[in-house]
Amino acid sequence: MNTGETGREIRQLGNDVYAIYVMLDGITSTQTELIATLARHWVILATHTRMLDEHTAKFDEHTRTLDEHTVKLDEHTVKLDEHTVKLDEHTVKLDEHTVKLDEILDILRHPA
């Protein structure tokens, strides 16, 4: 190997090393950008998680309220059913009284 060829090979190796450093610099830059993007995504994820937790708490509160209203509605339904039975009894009684009053009026209008 002669000196000229050795010098060329050394320059070539120097260029290769420089190219490797340029590539490593590009990789480092890309990693830095990815880390920054990942950090932004973590902030967004934390915000969404907090919002989801708040919505879940609100949903749970509404569910409890709905359950309370359902119990109250069931109580009112039972009471309404009781009143309906009582009203039906009064309707029967009123019909009986109406028949008796009609009989009395008929007797009063047409004495024997």
Instruction: Take residue 96 and report the two structure tokens written for it.
Output: 């009986």
pLDDT tens digits, 45-104: 999 999 999 999 999 999 999 999 999 999 999 999 999 999 999 999 999 999 999 999
* Sequence-ordered list of residues with C-beta below 8 angstroms from that of 76, at least 6 positions apart, any chain: none
* The overall pTM is greater than 0.75: no
Quote the CA–CA distance of 48 and 68 in Å, as a whole number.
30
Give the closest residue to 37 by CA, choosing from 29, 49, 25. Answer: 29
- Number of Cα atoms under 13 Å in the Cβ half of residue 6: 3
